[in-house]
Homo-oligomer: A and B are copies of this chain.
Amino acid sequence: MFDYLVMGMILHEELTGYDIRKRIEMGVGHLYKASPGQLYPALKKLTGKGLLTLREQMQGKRQKKYYQATEAGKAAFLAWLSAPYDPHADADHYLVKIFLLGELPQDLRRQRLGEYEGILRGQLQGLDAIEKQLPTENLSDRNYYEFASFYYGYQTLQIMLRWIGHIRAEKPLSAFLQGKEEEK
Protein backbone atom coordinates (compact mmCIF):
# COMPACT_ATOMS: atom_id res chain seq x y z
CA MET A 1 0.00 0.00 0.00
CA PHE A 2 2.64 2.41 1.06
CA ASP A 3 4.46 1.58 -2.16
CA TYR A 4 1.51 2.81 -4.20
CA LEU A 5 1.21 5.99 -2.21
CA VAL A 6 4.84 6.68 -2.97
CA MET A 7 4.38 5.94 -6.66
CA GLY A 8 1.33 8.18 -6.72
CA MET A 9 3.55 11.10 -5.74
CA ILE A 10 5.93 10.64 -8.66
CA LEU A 11 3.71 9.79 -11.61
CA HIS A 12 4.14 13.15 -13.31
CA GLU A 13 7.12 14.61 -11.56
CA GLU A 14 10.62 13.72 -10.52
CA LEU A 15 11.04 14.08 -6.77
CA THR A 16 13.61 13.27 -4.14
CA GLY A 17 12.83 11.01 -1.21
CA TYR A 18 12.72 14.03 1.00
CA ASP A 19 10.18 15.76 -1.24
CA ILE A 20 8.01 12.66 -1.28
CA ARG A 21 7.95 12.54 2.48
CA LYS A 22 6.95 16.19 2.67
CA ARG A 23 4.16 15.69 0.19
CA ILE A 24 2.73 12.74 2.03
CA GLU A 25 2.97 14.58 5.30
CA MET A 26 1.09 17.58 4.01
CA GLY A 27 -1.53 15.54 2.24
CA VAL A 28 -2.52 12.63 4.44
CA GLY A 29 0.02 13.23 7.18
CA HIS A 30 -2.47 13.61 10.01
CA LEU A 31 -3.72 10.13 9.28
CA TYR A 32 -0.75 8.35 7.84
CA LYS A 33 2.96 8.77 8.48
CA ALA A 34 5.92 8.20 6.20
CA SER A 35 9.02 7.71 8.29
CA PRO A 36 12.43 7.77 6.61
CA GLY A 37 13.02 4.23 7.80
CA GLN A 38 10.10 3.15 5.71
CA LEU A 39 10.53 5.39 2.70
CA TYR A 40 14.16 4.96 1.71
CA PRO A 41 14.14 1.17 1.69
CA ALA A 42 10.87 1.29 -0.29
CA LEU A 43 12.43 3.53 -2.94
CA LYS A 44 15.32 1.15 -3.29
CA LYS A 45 13.06 -1.86 -3.58
CA LEU A 46 10.76 -0.25 -6.15
CA THR A 47 13.70 0.87 -8.26
CA GLY A 48 15.04 -2.67 -8.16
CA LYS A 49 11.70 -3.93 -9.45
CA GLY A 50 11.82 -1.54 -12.38
CA LEU A 51 8.85 0.50 -11.19
CA LEU A 52 10.87 3.65 -10.62
CA THR A 53 13.73 5.35 -12.37
CA LEU A 54 16.53 6.93 -10.41
CA ARG A 55 18.52 9.93 -11.56
CA GLU A 56 21.38 11.02 -9.35
CA GLN A 57 22.51 14.58 -9.42
CA MET A 58 25.10 16.52 -7.55
CA GLN A 59 24.02 19.91 -6.29
CA GLY A 60 27.20 21.49 -5.05
CA LYS A 61 28.55 18.83 -2.75
CA ARG A 62 25.09 17.51 -2.04
CA GLN A 63 23.94 14.28 -3.62
CA LYS A 64 20.30 14.27 -4.64
CA LYS A 65 18.35 11.31 -5.94
CA TYR A 66 15.40 12.01 -8.14
CA TYR A 67 12.83 9.29 -8.59
CA GLN A 68 9.98 8.96 -11.06
CA ALA A 69 7.55 6.18 -11.95
CA THR A 70 8.32 4.13 -15.06
CA GLU A 71 5.58 3.01 -17.45
CA ALA A 72 5.45 -0.28 -15.56
CA GLY A 73 5.17 1.68 -12.34
CA LYS A 74 2.31 3.80 -13.64
CA ALA A 75 0.48 0.71 -14.87
CA ALA A 76 0.86 -1.01 -11.51
CA PHE A 77 -0.33 2.11 -9.73
CA LEU A 78 -3.42 2.51 -11.91
CA ALA A 79 -4.30 -1.16 -11.61
CA TRP A 80 -4.22 -0.84 -7.85
CA LEU A 81 -6.22 2.38 -7.78
CA SER A 82 -8.80 1.12 -10.27
CA ALA A 83 -9.52 -2.11 -8.44
CA PRO A 84 -12.87 -2.29 -6.64
CA TYR A 85 -12.69 -1.44 -2.98
CA ASP A 86 -12.23 -4.46 -0.83
CA PRO A 87 -13.19 -3.74 2.78
CA HIS A 88 -11.05 -6.65 3.86
CA ALA A 89 -7.81 -5.58 2.23
CA ASP A 90 -8.27 -1.82 2.12
CA ALA A 91 -9.95 -1.11 5.44
CA ASP A 92 -7.35 1.31 6.75
CA HIS A 93 -6.44 2.77 3.43
CA TYR A 94 -9.60 4.19 1.94
CA LEU A 95 -8.39 7.64 2.70
CA VAL A 96 -5.18 7.07 0.82
CA LYS A 97 -7.03 5.80 -2.22
CA ILE A 98 -9.31 8.79 -2.17
CA PHE A 99 -6.35 11.08 -1.76
CA LEU A 100 -5.04 9.74 -5.06
CA LEU A 101 -8.37 9.46 -6.84
CA GLY A 102 -7.72 12.37 -9.19
CA GLU A 103 -5.58 10.02 -11.28
CA LEU A 104 -8.61 7.99 -12.28
CA PRO A 105 -11.08 8.86 -15.08
CA GLN A 106 -14.33 10.29 -13.85
CA ASP A 107 -16.57 7.26 -14.43
CA LEU A 108 -14.31 4.95 -12.47
CA ARG A 109 -13.99 7.53 -9.75
CA ARG A 110 -17.75 7.72 -9.39
CA GLN A 111 -18.01 3.97 -9.28
CA ARG A 112 -15.39 3.55 -6.59
CA LEU A 113 -16.85 6.28 -4.46
CA GLY A 114 -20.28 4.70 -4.82
CA GLU A 115 -18.99 1.34 -3.66
CA TYR A 116 -17.28 2.93 -0.75
CA GLU A 117 -20.42 4.76 0.24
CA GLY A 118 -22.28 1.45 0.27
CA ILE A 119 -19.71 -0.15 2.53
CA LEU A 120 -19.82 2.75 4.95
CA ARG A 121 -23.60 2.67 5.06
CA GLY A 122 -23.38 -1.01 5.97
CA GLN A 123 -20.97 -0.21 8.78
CA LEU A 124 -23.23 2.53 10.04
CA GLN A 125 -26.14 0.11 10.17
CA GLY A 126 -23.98 -2.26 12.17
CA LEU A 127 -23.28 0.50 14.68
CA ASP A 128 -26.96 1.38 14.78
CA ALA A 129 -27.75 -2.16 15.80
CA ILE A 130 -25.20 -1.98 18.61
CA GLU A 131 -26.42 1.42 19.70
CA LYS A 132 -29.93 0.14 20.22
CA GLN A 133 -28.62 -2.42 22.67
CA LEU A 134 -26.70 0.03 24.80
CA PRO A 135 -28.29 0.57 28.20
CA THR A 136 -29.44 4.12 28.86
CA GLU A 137 -30.08 4.00 32.59
CA ASN A 138 -27.85 3.67 35.62
CA LEU A 139 -24.73 4.47 33.68
CA SER A 140 -21.50 4.31 35.63
CA ASP A 141 -18.62 6.68 35.00
CA ARG A 142 -17.00 3.81 33.20
CA ASN A 143 -19.93 3.41 30.85
CA TYR A 144 -20.02 7.10 30.14
CA TYR A 145 -16.52 7.13 28.66
CA GLU A 146 -16.86 3.79 26.96
CA PHE A 147 -20.03 4.90 25.25
CA ALA A 148 -18.54 8.27 24.47
CA SER A 149 -15.85 6.49 22.45
CA PHE A 150 -18.50 4.52 20.69
CA TYR A 151 -20.43 7.64 19.78
CA TYR A 152 -17.29 9.29 18.59
CA GLY A 153 -16.73 6.38 16.20
CA TYR A 154 -20.32 6.69 15.10
CA GLN A 155 -19.97 10.38 14.46
CA THR A 156 -16.76 9.87 12.52
CA LEU A 157 -18.51 7.42 10.24
CA GLN A 158 -21.30 9.89 9.65
CA ILE A 159 -18.82 12.59 8.73
CA MET A 160 -17.06 10.23 6.39
CA LEU A 161 -20.34 9.47 4.66
CA ARG A 162 -21.16 13.12 4.32
CA TRP A 163 -17.72 13.72 2.97
CA ILE A 164 -17.98 10.98 0.36
CA GLY A 165 -21.37 12.32 -0.70
CA HIS A 166 -19.86 15.74 -1.03
CA ILE A 167 -16.93 14.80 -3.20
CA ARG A 168 -19.00 12.37 -5.23
CA ALA A 169 -21.12 15.32 -6.25
CA GLU A 170 -17.91 17.28 -6.78
CA LYS A 171 -19.19 20.16 -4.74
CA PRO A 172 -16.74 22.89 -3.83
CA LEU A 173 -14.57 21.93 -0.89
CA SER A 174 -15.00 25.08 1.13
CA ALA A 175 -18.72 24.32 1.45
CA PHE A 176 -17.86 21.06 3.18
CA LEU A 177 -15.78 22.72 5.83
CA GLN A 178 -18.51 25.10 6.86
CA GLY A 179 -20.61 22.07 7.63
CA LYS A 180 -23.76 24.11 7.33
CA GLU A 181 -25.15 22.43 4.25
CA GLU A 182 -28.57 20.79 4.17
CA GLU A 183 -28.82 17.29 5.68
CA LYS A 184 -29.93 14.44 3.42
Contact = CB atoms under 8 A, between A and B. Distances in A.
A114 B153 CA distance: 21
B99 A145 contact: yes
B177 A140 contact: no
B149 A159 contact: no
A100 B145 contact: yes
A173 B148 contact: yes
Contacts of A98: 145, 148-149
A33 to B, nearest CB: 9
Interface stretch (A22-30, A37-45, A49-57): A22-30
Tell me which of A27, A30, A130, A153 has the highest count of chain B C-beta atoms within 10 A of its own C-beta: A30
Interface string A87-131: 000000001001111110000000000000000000100010010
21 contacts: A26-B130, A27-B146, A27-B150, A28-B153, A30-B127, A30-B153, A98-B145, A98-B149, A99-B149, A101-B145, A102-B141, A102-B143, A102-B145, A103-B142, A145-B167, A148-B163, A148-B176, A152-B163, A154-B177, A155-B176, A158-B179
